[in-house]
Amino acid sequence: MAAFTIWRHPKPRGAEGRCIGARTDLPVDPRKAKRLAHRIRAHARRHDLPREIVTSPLLRAAAVGRWLRCWGFRWRVDAALAEADFGRWDGKPWTEIAPTEFERWMDDFCGFDFEGGESLNALFARAAAWQPPCALVVGHGGWITARRWRGEAPTPASWPKPLAYAGSLSGDL
């Protein structure tokens, strides 16, 4: 795998207390998107990287790509970088999802498809298959966790905390 640096998008507006995935396209504060774009531009300069960025198509990641495009970066959008699709759950307040639904998920942690969405197994496959077209990427917490996952299938107890908003990871992910 090629080395690249991926940043998690800034915190979206309206996400608090909700299950947010690929179907819920929330915006970010433009100042936070610009701040992350500045960090990425500085990273590219510091490491003498080409002025290229690829992002998820969702607003919370694409807003950063728009800023970088304004500053002369080549910006590409790739749907394979989108957050997990939480199906019927996507966009709902967590409090509206029945405990029995959570139990169904925990009983089939990697195979559960969120009633028409994407299972963790499908997300793992999508993230593992992705080939970076450049060294700079903006994506989502679930996708980044899936890309980093190595080894045996995770359990609810072993699933790591997501990368902080606007946090980054580098290397052979």
Of 41-45, 70-74, 85-89, 161-165, minimum mean pLDDT range: 161-165
- The confidence score (pLDDT) of residue 22 equals 97
pTM of the model: 0.94
Q: Considering the domain delimited by 4-171, tell me its CATH architecture.
A: 3-Layer(aba) Sandwich (3.40)
Task: Give yes or no for residue 166 having a pLDDT over 80.
Answer: yes
- The confidence score (pLDDT) of residue 162 equals 85
Task: Give yes or no for residue 173 having a pLDDT over 90.
Answer: no
Task: Give yes or no for residue 1 having a pLDDT over 70.
Answer: no
Q: Tens digit of pLDDT for each residue in 10-68? A: 999 999 999 999 999 999 999 999 999 999 999 999 999 999 999 999 999 999 999 99
Task: Give yes or no for residue 152 having a pLDDT over 90.
Answer: no
Q: Can you give the residue ranges of every domain in the chain?
A: 4-171
In terms of Cβ atoms closer than 10 Å to its own Cβ (0-12, 13-18, 19+), residue 109 is middle
